[in-house]
Structure 1
Amino acid sequence: MTGVALAEELLLLAYDDETGKATTSRIGLDLGMAAAVLVELALAGRVAYADGTLVVADPTPTGEPILDGVLSRMAADTPHSPASWVQRLRHGLRDAILGDLCDRGVVRDVDETELGFIHVHRYPAVDGTVEADARRRLATALTSDDVPDERTAALATLVAASRMEPALGLDGAAAVDAHRRLDEIAGGAGFSGTVSLEESVVRPSVALVIAALGQAINAALGPRA
């Protein structure tokens, strides 16, 4: 695997560049990042959806420590449902990804003390090119009638499932339009059952994983307000 991970893109979208604080629901973000890691493994051909569970299709390491840690954990365990895996993986994942982004100079860790003893960490941006690319791809996807590439379609679907539209700087009618378009992208990509897997722009094996994980996140977060 090469390039920027989907979970990293989700996290950067959710954090304000200046304040270094999350601007969206933390539970939604954590579930979304856990799902993003599983999607990444599906894109790499390591994980598949079968009989209501996520299973390891290929235990060969990807070379990415966070992904390989999850892959090893899944290979050593019995198969679990997508809903179970996102809950199992979300704890501690954000800290691991933030640490990796700090090591790579994408964000920096600002450790502050409140009330004289409470440590609060902020993560303002240092290198904004990674987030800028994700925002550019999503903006293009939202304003075009074309179905985007596999990774961008997956990212858009995870943004919608995690209810991260506010991270795109949209509210009111614009947010409603954005959610509608994100749903259209998910449908056109074969993630939501509105097109057949044979007509999907992504691999059927990947579409099944993303569809199952999107449903798991929505179930965990409950009805939309």
Structure 2
Amino acid sequence: MTSMPLAEELLLLAYDDQTGKATGSRIGLDLGMAAAVLVDLALAGRIAYVDGFLKVLDATPTGEPIADLVLEKAAEAEPHTPAQWLQRMRHRLRTRVLEDLVARGIVQDVDETQMGVIHVHRYPTTDPAFEAEIRKRLADALTTGAICDERTAALATLLFSCRMEPALRLPQEETARAHDRLEQIASGAGFMAGGNMEDSIVRPSVALVVATLSKAIQAALGTPKPA
């Protein structure tokens, strides 16, 4: 199975398969998905954090429509900070990602009318194979202690930063341990400030996006309560 964009993976984890409704913080997911697009572009070598701004290193399309639209705009516009990009991207991103998933038959759009006039959309899963593969990768990363691949480490980092541990659907007594393991994975991959940055330009760039995401999440949701 081909890999999905990180923003799609986050969304599938956040939406209940049966009800088709989002769980957790709406703004947290929207910010996380915006950060995920930037992380994907950084991992693909298209953008990097330079002199306080995210700048385009390579404008070659990646083949992912949403990421390529952001890349095109970034190449044409004045450079923006990670914080500016998160706020610019988050407002309609969820709708666009859902439309793409519906078009590919991964979720369905159930349009319901409430009180005769209010349209409410739900997005239950129609092809569970994609989310099953995502959850297996995360379960392996959380339970085996082995070094996971780069994309799984990036997803773990985003889950940690967005406080999305409940989306893992673990028993309550395992949630705190999962939180610690997600942080270990993120730090070990060099995707968080203070981690192992190696000699790569990618990891510092991802770390700055993640740090910006964490600040935005804290501003929106407040300081997390102790586990």
State the TM-score bracket (shorter-chain normalisation): over 0.9
Task: Determine whether 1:210 maps to 2:206.
Answer: yes
TM-score of the superposed pair, with normalisation by structure 2: 0.92
Quote the offset at 1:52 in angstroms. 2.1
- Structure 1 unaligned segments of length 5 or more: list them: none
Aligned residues: 220
2:126 maps to what in 1? Answer: 126
1:69 maps to what in 2? Answer: 69
Please list every run of at least 4 consecutive aligned residues from structure 1 whose deviation after the TM superposition is greater than 6 angstroms: none
- Structure 2 unaligned segments of length 5 or more: list them: none
Taking the aligned partners of 2:205 and 2:195, their CA distance within structure 1 comes to 15
1:221 to 205, 217, 220: 217
Q: Percent identity?
A: 58
Is the Cα contact below 8 Å between 1:109 and 1:124 reproduced in 2? yes
TM-score of the superposed pair, with normalisation by structure 1: 0.93
Tell me which amino acid in the other structure corresponds to 2:155.
L
Is the Cα contact below 8 Å between 2:187 and 2:196 reproduced in 1? no
Tell me which amino acid in the other structure corresponds to 2:61.
P
Is the Cα contact below 8 Å between 2:142 and 2:178 reproduced in 1? yes
Taking the aligned partners of 2:203 and 2:171, their CA distance within structure 1 comes to 29
Is the Cα contact below 8 Å between 1:186 and 1:192 reproduced in 2? yes
1:78 maps to what in 2? Answer: 78
Tell me which amino acid in the other structure corresponds to 1:221.
I
For the aligned residues, what is the CA RMSD? 1.4
2:138 maps to what in 1? Answer: 138
Quote the offset at 1:25 in angstroms. 0.8
Is the Cα contact below 8 Å between 2:7 and 2:37 reproduced in 1? yes
Taking the aligned partners of 1:125 and 1:21, their CA distance within structure 2 comes to 10
Question: Which secondary structure does the structure 1 equivalent of 2:105 belong to?
Answer: coil
After the TM superposition, which residues 186-205 of structure 1 pair with which residues of structure 2 at under 5 Å, given as runs?
186-198=186-198, 204-205=200-201
